[in-house]
Chains A and B, each alone.
Chain A
Amino acid sequence: MTGIIRGVAAAPGVAVGPVFIVEMEKASEEGHEPAGSPSEEGDRLYAALEKAAEQLDELARQVETKIGPEESGIFLAQAAFASDPTLIQRAEEAIAGGLSAETGVTQAFQTFRQQLEASSSERLAARVTDLDDVRDRVIGILTGRPIGATGPNVPSVVVAAELTPSETAGLPARMVLAIATERGTETSHAAILARGLGVPSVVGAEGLLTAARTAAEMAVDGTHGEVFVDPDPETRRRLEEAAVDREKRRRELAGLRWVPGATRDGRHVELAANIGSLSELESASQAGAEGCGLVRTEFLFQDRTDRPSVDEQVVVYRQILSAFPDHRVVFRTLDIGADKPLPFIPRPLEANPALGVRGIRLGLHQPDLLNDQLRAITRACRESPGRGAVMFPMVTRTAEIDESLAMLVAVAEEEGFDMQRLEVGAMVETPVAALIAGRLAWRLDFVSVGTNDLLQYLFAADRLQTELADLPDLFEPAVLRLLSEMVTDAHAAKAWVGVCGEAAGTITGAAALVGLGCDELSMAPSAIPEVKDALRQVTAPDLEEAVDRAMRAEGPAEARQIMDAALPERSAVPRKQ
């Protein structure tokens, strides 16, 4: 079957390749009659457990090189589960009693599961998920339907309903040609990962999974948000030409790597990278990033059962700082809430995680966690040449800044660290933070706008809701006016203003933000060269004048048009539309 599935363009570029479906569908042992004698079933059991352990060991190795030795621990633990002698013994007993390998091993897992679950210890209860994962993997192997994010062995188009962080951990970067998901928006995890890896991506493509099951190949056009199922020769040729053009363009832009971000008339605009893993450091510096405007420190905390120690954090933070010895690196403190629960931060379920105890709220609620992180950041900065900065997420009141600053100052004193060497800032991602940016900024060195969350809250539209993807719009003239006022207030308080949301990485968005007076734009590494090139062709006064008109436009469409018109022909190489 050939056909086109439309979705949201989440990361630019084109790629064609075989389909690999990442599926965390729950395995079921039900309805499995023993296929052979108990001894044959036993052999199937041993083979499946051995294979599962091998896969997990391999995953651990991949994660170790991709992310780090600490992160790979979880997979090593899972490998140990798969070769646990008592587990095997219990499964053997069940199989000897006439059960299939599937049912026998599930029962064996179940006995441990119940023991872990019944425990009063949070630590043990948290391991249930790890155990279930291993069980599903073993059942998947037994039933011939591999389950779990094992990752493709050949370069492939990765297709999923939606990618979770733990699923992406299993994806070998070199084997990912493109990422397409059925759900999600351009700010969902899959999209952010794709931009980090520099591969094309389409998200929110309805009907994708059904089509993928019967497709041999898929083409992903992440520039236009289209997925082609088993593309015909004509489509392939067109897409491949576009890919060649893109490669040509990429080489042209490579020349800008060492050039600082600035407008034609010489107003410096720092173009920095958002990163969420150590593997993105390389693409960030290749893209010519002037430091990191947002380090999503969550990656250190996710997919593990115990919290990272201060020393462990120091190692990672130092690595990031030393990748940018001449630039600033902004560490955002842990932004975690009920939507991304961590086993070592037990939290009650919340009906509205986006509006709940997350970001700095959690940090002040569980000060030991924030304290550890601030200690690690100051220690890393003390021992590194670069310029470190701390940024607090989800701020809504000046008191939160006062409390966090007091904590930071106390830690710095204990560590013998000179606070003059560290810049401190706040994320502007709640509407009220934008409104009180002036008062926040008096206490700080900078504020940085998280446009994704700010727009989500301004438009009351869930970022993960595909149907609402078009609703939040930076170009709503009233939003532009809000930002304009915010920049003025922050500048009056002698603070610089950055933007670290996705809007900073689009050419029109970046142009508007520079016109509004923003001093720094931080974006996915892959977006930096195009934005840099576009800004170098316009003057700051022209952008200011255009954004001034956009603020008074009739609506978002007109405002966007006004900004677009202020931008020149974007590149020497015509880009196909």
Chain B
Amino acid sequence: MAERTVVLRNPTGLHARPAERFAREAARFEADITVSKQQQDSSVNAKSVLSVLTLDCRQGDEIMIRAEGEDAVQAVAYLSGLVEEGLGEDVIR
């Protein structure tokens, strides 16, 4: 199992295209991957764009990415890197 907490830096947060990108990239891994918003208990399937959207994560929110399975470590490293790079959007550092 692997997990990491990252801050959403991109303007759109986990909405619209960034959310779609996140779910699509998550689906490339074998591991079961969940994502949850900090200070909230409910975690959702990271491969489900609809579930990710319902979390309503915005710029500045902390999210926890957790994975279980063979490629869990790679999945968490890759996805958290993607979030830190802004999920395809420009990031103001």
- Judged by a CB distance under 8 angstroms, whether B15 is at the interface is yes
Interface of A is mostly: helix
Residues of B with C-beta under 8 A to A84 = 23, 48-51
User: Residue among A84, A119, A306 with the most chain B CB within 10 A?
Assistant: A84
| Known contacts A124-B54, A127-B53; A85/B16 CB under 8 A | no
B56 touches A124 (CB 8 A): yes
Q: Please, how many angstroms separate the alpha-carbon atoms of A112 and B15 in the complex?
A: 15
A86 touches B50 (CB 8 A): yes
The count of residues in chain A whose C-beta lies closer than 8 Å to any C-beta of chain B is 20
B50 touches A87 (CB 8 A): yes
**Which one, A73, A81, A123, contacts B50 given CB within 8 A?**
A81
- Between A and B, 6 residue pairs with Cβ closer than 8 Å are A73-B16, A77-B20, A84-B23, A116-B54, A119-B56, A123-B56
Q: Please, how many angstroms separate the alpha-carbon atoms of A124 and B15 in the complex?
A: 8
Question: In chain B between 10 and 43, which residues have their CB closer than 8 angstroms to a CB of chain A?
Answer: 12, 15-17, 20, 23-24, 27
Q: Please, how many angstroms separate the alpha-carbon atoms of A531 and B35 in the complex?
A: 62
Distance between B37 CB and nearest chain A CB, rounded to angstroms: 13
- Judged by a CB distance under 8 angstroms, whether A76 is at the interface is yes
Distance between A541 CB and nearest chain B CB, rounded to angstroms: 58
Q: Please, how many angstroms separate the alpha-carbon atoms of A84 and B24 in the complex?
A: 10
Q: Please, how many angstroms separate the alpha-carbon atoms of A124 and B49 in the complex?
A: 12
- Judged by a CB distance under 8 angstroms, whether A80 is at the interface is yes
A81 touches B49 (CB 8 A): yes
The count of residues in chain B whose C-beta lies closer than 8 Å to any C-beta of chain A is 19
- Judged by a CB distance under 8 angstroms, whether B76 is at the interface is no
Distance between A71 CB and nearest chain B CB, rounded to angstroms: 13
Question: In chain A between 71 and 119, which residues have their CB closer than 8 angstroms to a CB of chain B?
Answer: 73, 76-77, 80-81, 84-87, 112, 115-116, 119
- Judged by a CB distance under 8 angstroms, whether A305 is at the interface is yes
- Judged by a CB distance under 8 angstroms, whether A420 is at the interface is no
B48 touches A85 (CB 8 A): yes
B54 touches A80 (CB 8 A): no
- Judged by a CB distance under 8 angstroms, whether A577 is at the interface is no
- Judged by a CB distance under 8 angstroms, whether B47 is at the interface is yes
Residues of B with C-beta under 8 A to A306 = 12, 15-17
Q: Please, how many angstroms separate the alpha-carbon atoms of A75 and B45 in the complex?
A: 22
Q: Please, how many angstroms separate the alpha-carbon atoms of A62 and B32 in the complex?
A: 34
**Which one, A76, A85, A116, contacts B53 given CB within 8 A?**
A116
Q: Please, how many angstroms separate the alpha-carbon atoms of A121 and B58 in the complex?
A: 10
Residues of B with C-beta under 8 A to A85 = 27, 45, 47-48
Contacts A127-B53, A306-B12 aside, 12 further interface pairs with beta carbons under 8 A come to: A76-B20, A77-B17, A81-B49, A85-B45, A85-B48, A86-B50, A87-B50, A119-B56, A123-B16, A123-B56, A124-B53, A306-B15
- Select from chain A the residue with minimum beta-carbon distance to B17: A73
Q: Please, how many angstroms separate the alpha-carbon atoms of A84 and B49 in the complex?
A: 6
- Judged by a CB distance under 8 angstroms, whether B44 is at the interface is yes
Q: Please, how many angstroms separate the alpha-carbon atoms of A302 and B50 in the complex?
A: 22
Which are the 7 A-B pairs with shortest beta-carbon distances?
A86-B48, A115-B54, A84-B50, A80-B49, A86-B51, A112-B50, A84-B48
